[in-house]
Amino acid sequence: MGSKSMTVLLLVTVGAIICHVGCFTFEVGGNDGWVVPPANDSKVYNDWASENRFRVGDAIQFRYRKDSVMAVTEAEYKKCNSTRPIFFSNTGDSVYRFNHSGSFYFISGVSGHCEKGQKMIVKVMSHEEAWGSEKGGSSQPSSSTAAASFPLFQAFAASMLTPYLFSCAGF
C-alpha cells in the first residue's frame, strides 16, 4: 500500500515540476509587439516562433494597438480568413495558453494585416517531446527506483510544487 501512495506522490511531484518548468510566457514581437511587419520582412513572426521552444502549459502574449489577434485553423491561416476564429481578442494585451501539443495558427483580425505578414505558426511540443529533446533521448529513471530513493524529498517537493501545477494548468 505504501509503494502505491509513493508512486502517486512521485507522479504528482514530477507533474508539478514539469508544469512549473514548462510554464513560460513568450512576448510576441518583443518590444515592437504584434504589428504589421515591414514590407520586406513578412516572415518575421514565423522566424521568431521557429527560434523558440514552446511546450504545453506555455503562453504567448500579444501586445498591440488598434489591432486584434485570432487563433484559426490551418486552412484559414493559409487564406488569411478571419471569419471563424477559434480564439479572438482585441484588448491590446492578449494571452493565449497552449493546452495541448501541435501546431497553432495566429493571424491579425484587421483586414489586410494578415496578407502583409502579420501571422504566425507556433509548434508546441508535448512534455515527453521536450524531455526527450533536452536529454538527448536518454531514458528517465523508473518511478519505483525514484520513489524508493527519495521518499522524504518527494513529500516535501509535492507539498511545495503542487500549487504551481494548478496555476500552470489554469485552475
What fold characterizes domain 2-168? Immunoglobulin-like (2.60.40)
If 0-12 CB within 10 Å is exposed, 13-18 middle and 19+ buried, where does residue 116 land?
middle
pTM above 0.75, yes or no: no
One-letter-per-residue 3-state SS of 104-132: EEEEECCCCCCCCCCEEEEEEECHHHHHH
In whole angstroms, give the CA distance from residue 89 to residue 95: 9
In whole angstroms, give the CA distance from residue 57 to residue 128: 13
For residue 112, pLDDT beyond 80: yes
77-96 pLDDT, tens digit each: 999 987 889 999 999 999 99
In whole angstroms, give the CA distance from residue 71 to residue 6: 41
Q: What is the pLDDT of residue 55?
A: 95
Strand ranges in 10-68 using DSSP code E only, listed in sequence order: 25-27, 54-55, 59-63
Q: What is the pLDDT of residue 99?
A: 95
33-85 pLDDT, tens digit each: 999 999 878 899 999 999 999 999 999 999 999 999 999 999 999 999 878 89
DSSP 81: -
The residue type found at 9 is L
Counting residues of the chain whose pLDDT is more than 70, the rounded percentage is: 63
Is residue 37 within 8 A of residue 114, CB to CB? The reply is no
